[in-house]
Amino acid sequence: MNSTHRDVDTDVVIVGGGPAGLSAALSLGRARRQVLVVDQARPRNRTALHMHGVLGHDGLPPLELLEKGRREIAAYGVRVVVGDAVSARADEEGVEVTTDAGTIRARHLIVATGLTDELPEIPGLREQWGTGAVVCPYCDGWEHRHHVIGVVATSAQSVGQAQLLRQWSDRVVYFPNVVGEPDAAEADALARRGIRVERGAVESLVTSNDRLEGIRLAQRTVPVDVVFTGPTLRPNDALLRSLGARAADGPAGSWIDADRDGRTSLPRVWAVGNVVDPRANVSVSLGLGSLTAGAVNAELVQEDITRAPAVGTSPLASGTAL
């Protein structure tokens, strides 16, 4: 990756070089499109030591996947620059993205900027994020099978997270924290599956030499091997919102609307991965990136047809001697 670019014109500019953006870049590069990726290089899972559930790459460090991806797309002439896309404009003619290093004009824009995990304000949790404190049972449950799993509640959905984790261990401890007591049905379901409830506000995570040891409540420390919790998911969608892309309200808040191909409500503006889909894990982000690339390329082909000169105007068709 390099960190500078002059003002450039390209077929497609992709903002965000995580799994979704790089996957789109790979397909578009292989389709012989000119592509520039602008990336702050702060992928969501950057603090995790290993990535799981990605076929063919199970256990690979997540940053290695991206490094490998950048090498692969470079072979097709795709450039990746480190930078921050700060604003954008889009109309029927094209798009323009302003970064901290210059301006990029392109025929289409793909936004693949991911999301930000807003962590609960618990001292020690941020330092453990991605190692001793995690979010996704399918990403990290297997590594903690049979361990003591603490589930720190952040919302009404946290009881469900505890029940899900029971699949991996019969030593799950549920901390309602400040969310409130489980209701009678939930308490009964927790008890039936042997999930212990530890009441009281969580004061901090207790660690020794950076290793998680337990969860500190007012009067005591409960030993746990790992903490699962549910951060608030905030899409990194400032660019899309500044462009006026349509959003929809759902149970997880307001998210920009994009169809399965990544098409937003705006012409020439596409969005893919966690920025529009909180469920897009690495595999899904890779898959959707390739779908979006196909849809963008199809539109480029249509434009190429429209722009091509009519056959009757070519010298051969008009019978002009060569």
Ligand X SMILES: Cc1cc2nc3c(=O)[nH]c(=O)nc-3n(C[C@H](O)[C@H](O)[C@H](O)COP(=O)(O)OP(=O)(O)OC[C@H]3O[C@@H](n4cnc5c(N)ncnc54)[C@H](O)[C@@H]3O)c2cc1C
Binding positions for ligand X, rule: CB under 6 A: 15-21, 38-45, 47-48, 51-54, 84-85, 112-114, 117, 130, 134-136, 139, 236, 273-274, 280-283, 285
Question: Is 91 exposed, middle or buried, given 0-12, 13-18 or 19+ CB atoms closer than 10 A?
Answer: exposed
Q: Which of 23, 12, 15, 20 is nearest to 108 (CA)?
A: 12
Q: Specify the residue, 40 or 169, whose C-beta has the smaller distance to ligand X.
A: 40
Q: Specify the residue, 7 or 181, whose C-beta has the smaller distance to ligand X.
A: 7
Min separation Cβ 285 and ligand X, Å: 4
Min separation Cβ 153 and ligand X, Å: 18
Angle between the N-to-C axes of helices 62-74 and 19-30, in degrees from 0 to 180, rounded to the nearest 10: 20
At 280, phi and psi to the nearest 5?
-75, 95
8's tokens: 């450039």
278's tokens: 């909180």
At 269, phi and psi to the nearest 5?
-120, 125
Q: Which of 235, 295, 299 is nearest to 260 (CA)?
A: 295
Min separation Cβ 135 and ligand X, Å: 5
Q: Is 213 helix (H, G, I), strand (E, B) or coil?
A: strand
Q: Specify the residue, 139 or 149, whose C-beta has the smaller distance to ligand X.
A: 139
45's tokens: 């899972």
Min separation Cβ 208 and ligand X, Å: 21
For ligand X, the nearest residue by Cβ is 18
- DSSP for residue 279: T
Q: Specify the residue, 45 or 177, whose C-beta has the smaller distance to ligand X.
A: 45
Q: Where are the beta strands (DSSP E) in the chain?
A: 8-15, 35-39, 79-82, 85-90, 95-99, 102-111, 115-118, 133-134, 149-152, 172-175, 196-197, 204-208, 211-216, 221-223, 226-229, 232-235, 247-250, 253-256, 269-271
Min separation Cβ 122 and ligand X, Å: 15
Q: Specify the residue, 58 or 91, whose C-beta has the smaller distance to ligand X.
A: 58
Q: Specify the residue, 52 or 144, whose C-beta has the smaller distance to ligand X.
A: 52
Q: Specify the residue, 190 or 295, whose C-beta has the smaller distance to ligand X.
A: 295
Residue with tokens 């919102």: 241
Q: Specify the residue, 29 or 182, whose C-beta has the smaller distance to ligand X.
A: 29
Q: b/e map of 200-231 (b: 16 or more CB within 10 Å)? A: bebbebbeeeeebebbbbeeeebebbbbbbbb
Min separation Cβ 83 and ligand X, Å: 6
Min separation Cβ 169 and ligand X, Å: 18
Min separation Cβ 58 and ligand X, Å: 9
